[in-house]
Amino acid sequence: MKILYGVQGTGNGHLSRTRALLPALKRTGVEIDFVFSGRRQEEFFDMQPFGVYRLFKGLTLFYQRGRLQLLKTLTKNNFWRFISDVRRLDLSEYDLVISDFEPVTTWSAKLRGVPCIALSHQSAFEYAVPKARGYWVSKLAMRLFSPSKISVGFHYHHFNQPVLPPLISGTEQSTSDDKTIVVYMGFEDLNEIIQFVSPFTDYQFQIFASVEKQISMGHIQINPLSHKEFHNQLNCCAGVISNAGFELSSEALQLGKKLLVKPLTGQYEQLCNVVALEQLGRAQSMQRLDQKILEQWLQLPSQTPMNYPQVAQPLADWLLNPNRCDIAQLAQQIWRISKDYRTLAVV
């Protein structure tokens, strides 16, 4: 069996989820080619697990200082090039297309009638999960961005819907240094982040950002983006400050790290994530870089780790099974693996 796997490169959540699934798929001996889009080549890092891959411009969202730039998103995306890429992508040698919110692969599969399965957090919003009110244009754009007849959604909780737990790589035993906080807010201005945490000298802030080398500023350390080093710090910190992307917040819940999130202004998915996290009592949020909220949050205790079941292997087996069960059955089977299944009641 040969698979073409498309991954949206805007942000790092789609990449992290793909990294988590890849070892389980490789155990089956399946042949996989990768397509990435939504980010320039030089902005990718630690890509060795994916081997030789293809890169398309694709479609992406543009942000500035933590705010979605809708006009820039509409004018800077090259839709003619996107259509051309969709048409010229050759799928003749593939048995299946898998896409994590990557539009070139899904639209090409749709055009050519090639079987395609979407794996993404965005797919969860097809069901009755917690959502922010309004944002009709954003909802429509999400549906049209990367469509597929078969879609598998991931969420923090099942919410009595056919969605899967977060797809997270196996984590090491977590420790907690009460004075260390990991900060990753890739769509915010770095200087504003430094000013935000600067007054709190009793804490050590490990900021990850697009810098070439490590910078030490007393109790603030700015680190280059690195998958390995980021997760080393994540495992031993007390808490995480981030935007409200799904994958990082899921990892924080899994490890029992307290979580402070600032959703990107106007970004529907992140606004919905805040609604879900607050409904579950698992995070505090802020609409701007608010030092009063940060001061209060720093005093909070650690969270109890969420005992999420392993998703990668049962999902990989399901993907490669030509007689696969429906998604509702798969979701029920996976959630029931968790020892905490009965305690994860809808609130």
Cα angle 307-10-230, degrees, rounded to a multiple of 5: 50
Residue 293 CA, chain-centre distance (Å), reads 25
Rounded distance between C-alpha atoms, residue 294 and residue 288, angstroms: 11
Domain extent, residue 253, equals 177-298
CA separation, residue 163 to residues 80, 166, 222, 318, 322 (Å):
34, 9, 36, 14, 20
Q: Where residue 188 sits, what CATH number does that domain have?
A: 3.40.50.2000
User: Do both 197 and 96 map to the same domain?
Assistant: no
Residue 206, H or E segment: strand 204-209
Rounded distance between C-alpha atoms, residue 109 and residue 111, angstroms: 5
Rounded distance between C-alpha atoms, residue 128 and residue 329, angstroms: 17
Q: Does residue 329 sit within a domain? A: yes
Rounded distance between C-alpha atoms, residue 126 and residue 193, angstroms: 34
pLDDT in tens, 32-91: 999 999 988 988 888 999 999 999 998 877 767 766 777 787 778 889 999 999 999 999
User: Do both 245 and 322 map to the same domain?
Assistant: no
Overall size of the chain counted in residues: 347
The structural domain count of the chain equals 2
User: Do both 153 and 198 map to the same domain?
Assistant: no
User: Do both 79 and 55 map to the same domain?
Assistant: yes
Side chain identity, residue 277: L
Q: Which of helix, strand or coil describes residue 40?
A: coil
Q: Which of helix, strand or coil describes residue 98?
A: strand
User: Do both 215 and 319 map to the same domain?
Assistant: no
User: Do both 156 and 117 map to the same domain?
Assistant: yes
User: Do both 107 and 160 map to the same domain?
Assistant: yes
Give the number of other CB atoms < 10 A from CB of residue 259. 22
The two tokens of residue 12 are 């790092």
User: Do both 185 and 65 map to the same domain?
Assistant: no
Q: Where residue 53 sits, what CATH number does that domain have?
A: 3.40.50
pLDDT given at position 125? 95
pTM metric for this prediction: 0.91
Beta strands in 107-175 (DSSP E): 116-120, 150-153
pLDDT in tens, 124-141: 999 999 999 988 877 888
First to last CA, the chain: 42
pLDDT in tens, 154-200: 999 999 999 999 999 866 667 777 899 999 998 899 999 999 999 99
**Residues ≥6 apart with Cβ < 8 Å to 291:** 196, 199
